[in-house]
Amino acid sequence: MATHATPVDGSTVSDLESRTRGDVLQRGDDGYDDARAVWNGMIDRRPAVVVRCAGVADVVAAVEFAREHDLLVSVKGAGHNIAGNAVCDDGLTIDLSAMRSVRVDPEAKTARVEPGATLADVDHETQAFGLATPLGINSTTGVAGLTLGGGFGWLTRKYGMTVDNLRSVDLVTADGDLAHASETENPDLFWGIRGGSGNFGIVTSFEFDLHEVGPDVLAGLVVYPHDAARDVVRHVRDVNEDAPDEMAVWVVLRKAPPLPFLPEEVHGTTVTVVVPFYAGDVADGERHLEPVREFDEPIADVVEPQPYEGFQQAFDPLLEPGARNYWKSHNFTELTDEAIDTAIEYAKNLPTPQTEIFFGQVGGAMARVPPDATAYPHRDAAYAMNVHTRWEDPADDEACVSWAREFYDEMAQYATGGVYVNFISEDAGEERRGYGQNYDRLAEIKAEYDPANLFRMNQNVEPKAPSP
Give the C-alpha separation, 179 to 175, whole Å.
10
pTM, 2 dp? 0.95
The share of the chain scoring above pLDDT 90, in percent, equals: 94
Report the pLDDT value the prediction gives residue 429, as an integer from 0 to 100. Answer: 74
Three-class SS state of 420:
coil
Three-class SS state of 336:
coil
The CA angle 149-151-157, to the nearest 5 degrees, is: 145
Q: Classify residue 118 by its DSSP letter.
A: B
Conformational region of residue 436, where left means phi above 0, alpha means psi within -120 to 50, and beta covers everything else: left
The H or E element spanning position 254 is: strand 247-255
Set out the domains of the chain in order of their start, with CATH numbers.
Answer: 10-95 (3.30.43.10), 102-213+441-449 (3.30.465.10), 216-423 (3.40.462.20)
Residue 116 has pLDDT above 60, yes or no: yes
Residue 1 has pLDDT above 80, yes or no: no
Q: Band the pLDDT of 5: cuts 50, 70, 90.
A: very low
Across 106-215, the runs of DSSP E, i.e. the strands, are 110-113, 131-132, 166-172, 178-182, 202-209, 211-212
The answer to which of 164-178, 262-276, 453-467 has the lowest mean pLDDT is 453-467
Q: Judge contact between 384 and 419, C-beta under 8 A.
A: no
Name beta bridge partners: 389.
326
Give the C-alpha separation, 209 to 194, whole Å.
14
Average pLDDT, stretch 131-138?
A: 96
Report the pLDDT value the prediction gives residue 54, as an integer from 0 to 100. Answer: 98
Across 16-149, the runs of DSSP E, i.e. the strands, are 23-25, 49-52, 73-76, 92-95, 102-105, 110-113, 131-132
Three-class SS state of 219:
strand
Report the pLDDT value the prediction gives residue 10, as an integer from 0 to 100. Answer: 75
Report the pLDDT value the prediction gives residue 6, as an integer from 0 to 100. Answer: 55
Report the pLDDT value the prediction gives residue 4, as an integer from 0 to 100. Answer: 46
Give the C-alpha separation, 101 to 138, whole Å.
19
Give the distance between the most distant pair of CA atoms in the chain.
Answer: 70
The answer to which of 5-14, 44-53, 67-76, 388-397 has the lowest mean pLDDT is 5-14
Phi, psi angle pair for 202, to nearest 5°: -110, 110
Average pLDDT, stretch 90-99?
A: 97
Closest residue by Cα to residue 327 from 100, 89, 138, 73: 138
Average pLDDT, stretch 122-142?
A: 97
Average pLDDT, stretch 76-103?
A: 96
Conformational region of residue 70, where left means phi above 0, alpha means psi within -120 to 50, and beta covers everything else: left
Closest residue by Cα to residue 88 from 51, 141, 142: 51
Conformational region of residue 413, where left means phi above 0, alpha means psi within -120 to 50, and beta covers everything else: alpha
Q: Judge contact between 325 and 390, C-beta under 8 A.
A: yes
Average pLDDT, stretch 42-68?
A: 97
Residue 151 has pLDDT above 90, yes or no: yes
Residue 191 has pLDDT above 90, yes or no: yes
The CA angle 444-446-452, to the nearest 5 degrees, is: 120
Average pLDDT, stretch 387-404?
A: 97
Q: Band the pLDDT of 304: cuts 50, 70, 90.
A: very high
Average pLDDT, the chain: 95
Distances (CA, A) of 388 to 143, 209, 319: 20, 30, 10
The model's pLDDT over 211-268, given as tens digits with 9 standing for 90+, comes to 999 999 999 999 999 999 999 999 999 999 999 999 999 999 999 999 999 999 999 9
Report the pLDDT value the prediction gives residue 7, as an integer from 0 to 100. Answer: 61
The model's pLDDT over 258-288, given as tens digits with 9 standing for 90+, comes to 999 999 999 999 999 999 999 999 999 999 9
Residue 203 has pLDDT above 60, yes or no: yes
Give the C-alpha separation, 118 to 138, whole Å.
9
Residue 48 has pLDDT above 80, yes or no: yes
Closest residue by Cα to residue 339 from 255, 234, 241: 234
Distances (CA, A) of 205 to 20, 56, 190, 196, 220: 19, 9, 13, 16, 33
